Amino acid sequence: MDINLFKEELEELAKKAKHMLNETASKNDLEQVKVSLLGKKGLLTLQSKKIKEANKEDKPTIGQELNRVRSVIQTTIAEKEKEINDKILTEKIAKEAIDVTLPGNQIAIGHQHVITKVKEEIEDLFIGLGYQVIDGREVESDHYNFEMMNLPKDHPARDMQDTFYVTENELLRTQTSPMQARTLEVHDFTKGPLKMISPGRVFRRDSDDATHSHQFHQIEGLVVAENITMSDLKGTLDLFAKSLFGSDRKTRLRPSYFPFTEPSVEVDVSCFKCNGKGCRVCKQTGWIEILGSGMVHPNVLEMAGIDSEKYSGFAFGLGIDRIAMLKYGIDDIRHLYQNDIRFLKQF
């Protein structure tokens, strides 16, 4: 065997290997090239078999040369493999990249309903005056909704507050007033006066029109302590009207009737639209009715176990829907319950 010819062939093979590897672009290509060079029938494997025909003294040189070329080929393959993997990774990163400069998906954020807004505004005012805010129940007993509010079974005023009965003695409450009796029963007067408001939903058998709804919202108010007089009622509700409708509003009290107050009054506020001159909003009277009120009836105190000789108080009940309608000039109560976004968005 001609050693020089062998070396030349090996050199040729190394060049060819380099060329083949240069041309590979994918993992598959590389695998094939690898087999065709180093596999069982690969070019280098065939070349190395020739060592058997070589002279004894040439064998070490041939061996060294084969090893050198094999090692060059293996390094090149390893480098090529890394190059291909890097390329795949770079492409993957580019494909999956997030463009943080793109605008995100807009999430529509809602806001409070106008009734909730007015409710919270009124709550804030009374909290500032030291009142507790107490939750009530929508399913109430006949006992608290009527009896304890001085409306016994045959009382004619019950007719105006017919409602849905859940059982014979449980009903959808027609007013928030039962919360008066409930809080009176549990209040500890040795700890100070009772001052509370109780907001919530009430239900009545009403035909729905622009100003009536079978379901609406009230806030009940109650103050009971020693020496509470009608001037406390007037001062408190005057402050309430001014805070809600403007500091230059006036209030007036008109005699009225409620079974649970004596005397009873209707509270009017001077029209904020025409300033009392008379317009459509106040039906030309210059005054707008905003709530019912009165001095707590002694029967109500006594039924709740409170000495009506020692304690006195005033109560009031207002419709949140009505106040909201007045405040924002809403002409139909049904708008408040139809969930039309175009309407609700305005507040």
Tell which one of 261, 268, 303, 322 touches ligand DAH (CB under 6 A).
Answer: 261
Which residues within the stretch 85-114 sit at the binding site for ligand DAH (CB under 6 A)? none
Tell which one of 6, 258, 287, 311 touches ligand DAH (CB under 6 A).
Answer: 258
Q: Which residue number places its CB atom closest to ligand DAH? A: 317
Q: 105 φ, ψ to 5°?
A: -75, 130
Checking 14-18 for CB contacts under 8 A at 24+ apart, the result is: 14/69, 14/72, 14/73, 16/43, 17/43, 17/44, 17/69, 17/72, 17/73, 17/76, 18/76
Which residues within the stretch 114-133 sit at the binding site for ligand DAH (CB under 6 A)? none
- Buried b or exposed e, range 157-168, using 16+ CB within 10 angstroms: ebeebebeeeee
Establish if 316 lies at the interface with ligand DAH (CB under 6 A): yes
Task: Decide whether 34 or 173 has the Cβ nearer to ligand DAH.
Answer: 173
Which residues within the stretch 200-229 sit at the binding site for ligand DAH (CB under 6 A)? 220
- What's the one-letter identity of residue 339? N
Round to whole Å and give the CA distance between 86 and 335: 64
Task: Decide whether 270 or 293 has the Cβ nearer to ligand DAH.
Answer: 293
Q: Count residues near ligand DAH (CB under 6 A).
A: 11
Which residues within the stretch 159-198 sit at the binding site for ligand DAH (CB under 6 A)? 175, 177
Stretch that binds ligand DAH, among 42-50, 67-75, 104-112, 290-298 (CB under 6 A): 290-298
To the question of whether residue 262 is assigned a binding role by annotation, the answer is: yes
Tokens of 124: 């804030």
Establish if 294 lies at the interface with ligand DAH (CB under 6 A): yes
Question: DSSP for 180-230?
Answer: HHHHHHH--GGG--EEEEEEEEEE------SS--SEEEEEEEEEEETT--H
Task: Decide whether 315 or 324 has the Cβ nearer to ligand DAH.
Answer: 315
Nearest to 113 by CA among 38, 201, 203, 236: 201
Task: Decide whether 76 or 161 has the Cβ nearer to ligand DAH.
Answer: 161
Establish if 145 lies at the interface with ligand DAH (CB under 6 A): no
Tell which one of 145, 236, 293, 312 touches ligand DAH (CB under 6 A).
Answer: 293
Round to whole Å and give the CA distance between 123 and 131: 9
Q: Is the dihedral of CA 76, 82, 86, 88 positive or negative?
A: positive
Instruction: Please report, in range form, the residues annotated as the binding site.
Output: 262
Please report, as ranges, the residues that interact with ligand DAH according to CB under 6 A.
175, 177, 220, 258, 261, 292-294, 315-317
